[in-house]
Structure 1
Amino acid sequence: MMSLLQASARSSVRAVTKNFYSTEMSKRVAVVLAGCGVFDGSEIHEASAILVHLSRGGASVNVFAPDVEQMHVVDHAKGEPTKERRNVLVESARLARGSIQDLSKLSVEDHDAIIFPGGFGAAKNLCTWAVQGKDCSVNGEVKAALEAFRGEGKPIGLCCIAPVLAAKVFPGCEVTVGLENDDKYPNTTDTAAAIKQLGCEHVSAPVSRSHVDRKNKLVTTCAFMCDAPIHEVFDGIGSMVQDVLKLA
């Protein structure tokens, strides 16, 4: 028979797990994907880390993606574009295990926060940053979602290259895509310069940390913008998710 002490210990463990992110009640979070695969869609490890940390934080999650054609399809073994055509929503469903909705159906009233993983898809399919940089255009449904959540004072989380979406839509905001002038962050300095040209502030932050723009309720972390071990990326995304849930 389990002793009273053992029962108490197990109860304490459950309590600690439930309150890992200090959430008093379940938060409803929308996660927006951009395909499946780092070179032409959402970065799979980032998307998975976000979902794991949201689950650990006790959040309920709905996954969305725009029903549009990908900019192109990349053979991930060769790192080269192919002649294939694929749909962002259909490809994102691979990551969502089939449970996904068209981004056009996203309701800000039904969610407490929204999070965007990175990967080249964020810069190719959710906007055109990959080919136009700071002069890019943002997918209309993505822009509408960002503006709706900020308009309602609800937090927005973005990682890796995805913070450029906020920089384009919200002039004057604060974001991070890593540490500038550091060899471990090979893509940060140029991206940070473009973010500043948009009138935003880039805040240097290491891969293990997130930055919170409290005025705009934006939470960003650099993830694979850093050449870091995957567990460090996982921890940094955890910091971002934790801050999003605290603001929700």
Structure 2
Amino acid sequence: MGIRRRSGVLGFLGAQLDFDECGLVQRGAWDAELPDEATANGVKKEKVEQEEEAVEEEEGTKRSAGLNVLTGCGMMDGTEISEAISTAIHLYKHNIRPDFYAPNIDVCASINHYTGCLESSDIPRNALVEAARIARSCIRPICKCKVCEYALLIIPGGAGVIRTLSDFSSAGNDCIVHPELRNIITEFRTQCKPIGTMCMASVLIAKVLPGSTVTLGKTSPKEQWPYASAIEKVKKMGAKVTMQNVHGVTYCKKHNLYSTPAWLDAHANYSDVHEGIGKMIAMIKKNMK
């Protein structure tokens, strides 16, 4: 079988890959080392921002920017991918550019998403590096975030929010939220900017902002709402929890918060979740100053 040399999927990073006749990458076929993380992400993000600015100039529009906090990649140990993508799509529909950030820390636990089993590895997975898969490499460490540059904050769900962004999965109502994210949430509240959460991400808001009103879906039937036990734990934090279906959105006027159940509903499908997130983003946009 012959070998062909050409730029592959990582060509934008300057790497040359060897492919066989079936289009499969050959092992050990690198011509050059990849640039370091800072260079790769910096070049990619700068290029994307320049392209978007050119489009905005051509269309005579100027998009607001939305801060999207991710943590890893995958519903069992990171960010729920479809929630993150649905969020980005709906933000763009409302002329809001999503900018992605994630903590530069190791993922608390790595789960095999095919078997559902815990993976053991000597090499830990990094939440920022994994989240870059969702953000198409256009992502920054959360420590680099400047709240003044953003009109709203969105936090998609997934187990990463209760394992890496907090320890809610083990500590419950006594959990601790990642300090950098806590500061961001607090600053958004201080500046009266809207915050949107979905799925289990709503527990972060309940912990950081006392007296919040959020939704975590419903308490029954159990087979449809398998994470209902989180509701009582969040109530112990001092939060008020409203019952919503997958298409529902809860608005907390006190803190300018919006939340929707998303995949907390085990009977939901991609269309349901996409619709619920879209409704939440539309409400946020309508109420933005």
User: Which secondary structure state, in structure 2, belongs to the residue aligned with residue 224 of structure 1?
Assistant: helix
| RMSD (Å) for aligned C-alpha atoms | 1.2
Alignment match, 2:69:
32
Q: Deviations over 1:92-137 (max 9, x none)?
A: 0000000001100111110000100000011111101111111111
Q: Is 1:155–2:157 an aligned residue pair?
A: no
Tell me if the contact between 1:178 and 1:221 (Cα under 8 Å) persists in the aligned partners: yes
- From 45, 55, 58, the equivalent of 2:82 is 45
Distance 1:211 1:27 in 2: 23
Displacement of 1:55 in angstroms is 1.1
Alignment match, 1:116:
155
Displacement of 1:25 in angstroms is 6.4
- From 117, 127, 132, the equivalent of 1:88 is 127
Q: Deviations over 1:164-208 (max 9, x none)?
A: 0011111111000112223322212x1111111111100111110
Distance 1:246 1:151 in 2: 20
Q: What's the TM-score, normalizing by structure 2?
A: 0.75
Segments of structure 1 that go 5 or more residues without pairing to the other structure are: 1-23
Q: Is 1:243–2:283 an aligned residue pair?
A: yes
When the two structures are aligned, how many residues end up with a matched partner?
224
Segments of structure 2 that go 5 or more residues without pairing to the other structure are: 1-60
- From 250, 254, 260, the equivalent of 1:211 is 250
Deviates more, 1:24-33 or 1:65-74: 24-33
**In percent, how many aligned pairs have the same letter?**
33
Alignment match, 2:101:
64
Q: Compare relative contact order (CA 8 Å, sep 6+) and give the higher one, 1 or 2.
A: 1
Deviates more, 1:146-155 or 1:75-84: 75-84
User: Which secondary structure state, in structure 1, belongs to the residue aligned with residue 160 of structure 2?
Assistant: helix
Which amino acid in structure 1 is aligned with residue 83 of structure 2?
Answer: E
Distance 1:148 1:210 in 2: 23
Distance 1:242 1:159 in 2: 14
Distance 2:218 2:264 in 1: 9
Tell me if the contact between 1:217 and 1:247 (Cα under 8 Å) persists in the aligned partners: no
Distance 1:206 1:119 in 2: 18
- From 161, 186, 191, the equivalent of 2:230 is 191
Q: What's the TM-score, normalizing by structure 1?
A: 0.88
Structure 1's consecutive aligned runs of 4 or more residues displaced over 4 angstroms after TM superposition are none
Which amino acid in structure 1 is aligned with residue 109 of structure 2?
Answer: H
Distance 1:185 1:234 in 2: 18
